[in-house]
Structure 1
Amino acid sequence: MTVFSHAAAKVVHHAARITVASALPALAMLFTLSVSHPAAAMNIQQITSPGGIKAWLVEEHSVPLISLRYAFDGGNSQDPPGKEGLANFITAMMDEGAGDIKSEDYQERMEDIAMRMSYDDSKDSLYGSFETLSKNRDKAVELLKLSVQKPRFDQDAVDRIRQQLLANLAYADKDPDKVAMREWFAQAFPDHPYGRSANGTQQTIAKITRDDLADYHKRTFARDNLKVVAVGDITAAELGKMLDDVFGALPEHADLIPVSKTEPVKGGSQKIIEMGVPQSVAVFGLGAMPRKDPDFMAGFVVNHILGGGGFSAKLMEEVREKRGLAYSVYTYLQPYQLTSILVGSVATKNASMAQSLAIIKDEMKKMAENGPTPQDLQAAKDYLTGSYALRFDTNSKIASQLLGLMQEGFGPDYVENRNAMINAVTLDDAKRVAARLFKPENLVVTIVGKPVGMNSAATPPLLQPAAAVPGRG
C-alpha cells in the first residue's frame, strides 16, 4: 500500500483514541531500539521450522526487539481485471480486526503492547512487517497470527477504508509526480498487469467487495509462496515454533493467476497529460537486464554514474549544476520478477522541459558510445562499496535487505560477496554494458504539465539529436 494511503487511513481512524497516549512511551522505546542499536556482524542462519517453513535468521540478543519481514508472491499483478487496487485495498484491511477481535479492539491491543505491524504491496509481492519488544512477544505473535490467518474484513471497516482510498485517489490525481509515474507504466506496459494502476481507480475501488478481499487472501496467503526473515532477540528454535504458529495453518499452495514475462514497449514513445501546474514532471525509462543477468552489476554501476549518484551523477551535473534547469534529476535500475527497467524523472519549468529531456537523451547517448571515464568508474565503485553497510545499520533494515535477496533467489553469501562483485566491474565491462543498456531511441516518456513546444508523438522531439545543447565534449 502507498505510504500516504496507509498513513491517512490510520490517522483518520485513530484520531479520537485516548488509548494512543498511554502507548506512546512504549512506542517511542520500540522506535529508539530499532534505529539506534544496529545488529552486530551478521551470522545469517537458514532455518526450517518443524512444520517445514523456511526462513533466514540473524540473532541479536543485545537488544530486546524482534523484527520480522515476510512476503507472499503475487502482489497487485494478481488484481483481477476490473478490480485494480484490490491488493492495495487488502493491505489497509489486515489490521482492521481478526479472529474474534473487531477493528477498534484489535488496534488498541496492538497499541497497548507497542506492537508494530503493517502491510504493503508491490507489483510482484504483498509484504508484511512486524516488530515487537521481546517481553511482549507472545501477545504480539498471537495478534500477528490472527491477522495472517483470519482477517475479518467486516463490512463497516471495508466501507470506511474504501472512502479513505477513494479520497487518496482524488488527491493523487492532482499530484503530477504520481500521475506521471502511473501513466508511464500504463504507456510502457499496455495490456499487461504491470501497466495497470496499483492503487486502482475510483471505478474499480468502488466495485471491490468483502468477498473480493477474502478471495485475494485465500488465493495468495499460502506457504509455498511465502518468504520470511527474522532479526533480533529470538533463537532458531523459538523462531521455528513462531513460524509454524503464525503461518502453519495457511494453505500449502497459492492459487495465483498466471502472469507472463514482459518488456517495455520499444521504439520510443511520448505522452503528455495536461495539468495546470507551474512546472512539468517527466518520467522516462526503457528496458534493462534482469537481476540474475551477468551484466546486472555493471549496469548498476554505470547507472549510478549516469543518474543514480545524486550530485555526482552526470545528469545532475548537466541539467542542474551547469544549466540550473531542475532541482533534481535521477535514474534507477529496477528489476521485477517479470521484467526489468531503467527509469528516471525530472521536474522543471514548462518552458524548459524540452531542453531538459534533450540533455538527458544526449547524456545517455554519450554514455552508450563512450562509457564512463576510469575516474568516474572508480568513484562509483568506492561509493557503492563504502555505503553498502548503511543498508544494514538497524534490525529492520537488515530484515528488509535480506528479504529482498531471498526473493531475488540469492543465498546469504551474497552479502559477503556483493562488494567484490562491484569491484570486479572493469572499464571494458562498463563500456560494453553502457552500450547495451542506454538506448535513448527506446525511451518511453510521460510528461505531466503544460510543456512548451512539445506534443505527444510516437517519435518524440527529444529523440532527435541534441547537438545544439551545450554539453561535455
Structure 2
Amino acid sequence: MIRLVLAAWTVVMLALPLRAEVPIQEITSPGGIKAWLVEEHSIPFTALEIRFKGGASLDLPEKRGATNLMTGLLEEGAGDLDARGFAQAQEALAASYSFRVHDDALAISAKFLTENRDQAIALLRTALMEPRFDPDAVERVRAQVVSGIMSDLKDPNAIASSTFNRLAFGDHPYGSSKSGTLETVATLTRDDILAAKAGIMTRDRLYVSAVGDVTAEELGLLIDALLGDLPEQGAPMPTLAPYLLTGGVTVVPFDTPQSVVVFGHDSLEREDPDFFAAYVLNQILGGGNFSSRLMTEVREKRGLTYGVYSYLMDKDQADLIMGQVASANDRVAEAISVIKDEWARVAETGVTQEELDSAKTYMTGAYPLRFDGNGPIADIMVGMQITGLPADYIATRNDKIEAVTLTDVARVAKRIIKPEALRFVVVGQPEGVVATQ
C-alpha cells in the first residue's frame, strides 16, 4: 500500500505544469470559513494545508515548549484510537498527515486520495478535536523533545543561532527555542498541553488552502466538517519583539576545529514598499548561490569556507537580515573581516547593472520551479494568505522583481545595510577574534 501511495504522489508532483500562474479560487464555506482552492482533477488526490497563526510564540515564559509538545502529540492517539491504532488507521487509508510548529504558526498538512477523502478527513478531525494526550504518549514525546534539546546544546550551529536570538530578543518568545528548555519541558503537564491547544486552534487565526481533485462546493463542506467546531478565539497574540543588539562580536567558547558564525542586524518589514528591492539586494549580497558577493569573496577568492550566505528573516513580530558562515579557527577572523568589508561596500556603492540583471534572471527563472506539485502549491498558497498577500501575487511576483532598478537597490542598500550594526556570534575557538562585550 505504501509503495502505491508513494507512486501516486510521484505522479501528482507532475500533475500541474511548471508555471507561475495558478488559477486560485477564493471560497467561503457554508459555515463561514475562508479558503483558497486550485482544482486539479487529472489525479484523484488532494493536498490540504491548514495554518493557525501564533505558533510557539503563544507559549507563556514558564510554559515554553508547550505548543511544541502538544503538536508532537497530535498523531499519538485520538478518539478511540491509541497511538498505534491511529497510525494503522492512517496507513489503511493511504493518507498522510504532518503536524509542525514554528515561531509564528502551527502547520498541518494532509494528503489523501479522493476515494478515501471522507474517511481521511474524519480521522484528521479526530486528531484535531479529540486528541488523547495519553500519559505514556506524553512521556514518550517529552523524551524525544528533551533528546533534541540536549543535542542542540552540543551543536555549534544551534548554539550560535540560539545565542544570537537570546541576545537579540531577550525575554520575548523569539529569544528562546520553540522546543523550550530542559527545565520548562520537564514541568509541563497534561493541563498545559490542553491549554496550548485551546490557545492556538481557533477560528480567529485559521488559514486554509487546497489543491487537487476537489470542487469548491466539496471543499466548503469538507472544511466545515473538519474545522467548523473550532472555538472562535484563542490566546492573545504576542507583541512586537524589540531588537536589543548593537554591533560587535560575541564569542562562545566551544571545542571544535572550526568556528560557526551567525551574523545580522535589524531590517525592514515584508509590507515595506522597498521589500522587493531588498530581496534582490540580498540575492546579490549573499542569497545562497555561488555568484553572490559573499560567496565570491569569502569562498572563491580566499578559500575561507565551503559556504556563506545571507537572508531576510521575516517573522511576524521582527524582521532581520541574517547570515551564517563556518571557517577554521585560525581563519575565521579573516572571514569575518571580509564579510564586514562586503557589507560596507554594498552599502556605500550599491551593485552593478550586471549583478542586478543576473539576479533578476535567476530569481524570475527559479520561481516557477517551486510550483511542482499539489502539496508545494497548497503550501505556497496558505503562506500567501497568512502573510497577507493577494491571490494574484503568483502572477505578479516576477513583475515586481523585474521592476527593481539599480537606483532602487542603491537606495535600499544605504537604508537597510548597516555595517556598524552587524553583530557576529562566534561559536568555537576562534584565533584573533576579540569579543567586544
Match of 1:54? Answer: 34
Match of 2:16? Answer: 38
After superposition, the C-alpha distances for 1:104-147 in whole angstroms (9 at most, x for unaligned) are 10111111222111111111111111111111111111111111
Q: What one-letter code is carried by the residue in structure 2 that aligns with 1:251?
A: P
**C-alpha displacement of 1:259:** 2.0
After superposition, the C-alpha distances for 1:400-420 in whole angstroms (9 at most, x for unaligned) are 111111111111011111111
**C-alpha displacement of 1:426:** 0.8
Match of 1:184? Answer: 164
**C-alpha displacement of 1:283:** 0.6
Which range is displaced more, 242-251 or 106-115? 106-115
CA distance in 2 between partners of 1:186 and 1:60 (Å): 45
Match of 1:204? Answer: 184
CA distance in 1 between partners of 2:139 and 2:171 (Å): 30
CA distance in 2 between partners of 1:73 and 1:154 (Å): 26
Q: What one-letter code is carried by the residue in structure 2 that aligns with 1:83?
A: K
1:450 aligns with 2:410: no
CA contact (8 A) 1:187 1:444 kept: no
Q: What one-letter code is carried by the residue in structure 1 that aligns with 2:80?
A: D
1:24 aligns with 2:33: no
Map 1:381-460 → 2, pairs under 5 A = 381-458=360-437
CA distance in 2 between partners of 1:369 and 1:217 (Å): 49
**C-alpha displacement of 1:263:** 4.0
Map 1:203-242 → 2, pairs under 5 A = 203-242=183-222
**C-alpha displacement of 1:62:** 0.5
Query: In structure 2, do the counterparts of structure 1 residues 446 and 34 end up closer, same or farther at CA, with 3 Å as the change threshold?
Result: farther
CA contact (8 A) 2:67 2:196 kept: yes
**C-alpha displacement of 1:99:** 1.6
CA contact (8 A) 2:203 2:231 kept: yes
CA contact (8 A) 1:68 1:399 kept: yes
Match of 1:89? Answer: 69
Counterpart selection for 1:63 from 37, 40, 43: 43
Which range is displaced more, 177-186 or 294-303? 177-186
CA distance in 2 between partners of 1:116 and 1:39 (Å): 23
State percent identity of aligned pairs.
Answer: 43
1:160 aligns with 2:128: no
**C-alpha displacement of 1:456:** 2.7
1:136 aligns with 2:116: yes
CA distance in 1 between partners of 2:74 and 2:369 (Å): 31
Match of 1:6? Answer: none
* TM-score, length-scaled by structure 2: 0.97
**C-alpha displacement of 1:197:** 1.4
CA distance in 1 between partners of 2:241 and 2:248 (Å): 17
Query: In structure 2, do the counterparts of structure 1 residues 24 and 31 end up closer, same or farther at CA, with 3 Å as the change threshold?
Result: same
After superposition, the C-alpha distances for 1:396-453 in whole angstroms (9 at most, x for unaligned) are 1111111111111111011111111111111110000011111021112211111112
Q: What one-letter code is carried by the residue in structure 1 that aligns with 2:296?
A: E
**C-alpha displacement of 1:42:** 2.0
Match of 1:19? Answer: none
Counterpart selection for 2:325 from 326, 346, 352: 346
Aligned positions, number: 435
Q: What one-letter code is carried by the residue in structure 2 that aligns with 1:49?
A: S
Q: What one-letter code is carried by the residue in structure 2 that aligns with 1:236?
A: A
Match of 2:239? Answer: 260
CA distance in 2 between partners of 1:361 and 1:340 (Å): 20
SS at match of 2:331: helix
CA distance in 1 between partners of 2:345 and 2:24 (Å): 42
Match of 1:379? Answer: 358
After superposition, the C-alpha distances for 1:204-250 in whole angstroms (9 at most, x for unaligned) are 11111111111111111011110001011100000000110010001
Match of 2:80? Answer: 100
CA distance in 2 between partners of 1:200 and 1:456 (Å): 28
Structure 1 residues without counterparts, runs of 5 or longer: 1-22, 459-473
CA distance in 2 between partners of 1:321 and 1:267 (Å): 30
CA distance in 1 between partners of 2:62 and 2:327 (Å): 35
Q: What one-letter code is carried by the residue in structure 1 that aligns with 2:16?
A: P
SS at match of 2:214: coil
Structure 2 residues without counterparts, runs of 5 or longer: none
RMSD, aligned CA: 1.3
Counterpart selection for 1:291 from 270, 273, 276: 270
CA distance in 2 between partners of 1:24 and 1:350 (Å): 47
After superposition, the C-alpha distances for 1:49-95 in whole angstroms (9 at most, x for unaligned) are 00000000000001111101111011111111122222221221110
**C-alpha displacement of 1:309:** 4.2
Higher relative contact order, chain-length normalized (CA < 8 Å, sep 6+): 2
Match of 1:13? Answer: none
**C-alpha displacement of 1:265:** 2.5
Flag as ranges the 4+ runs of structure 1 deviating above 6 A.
none
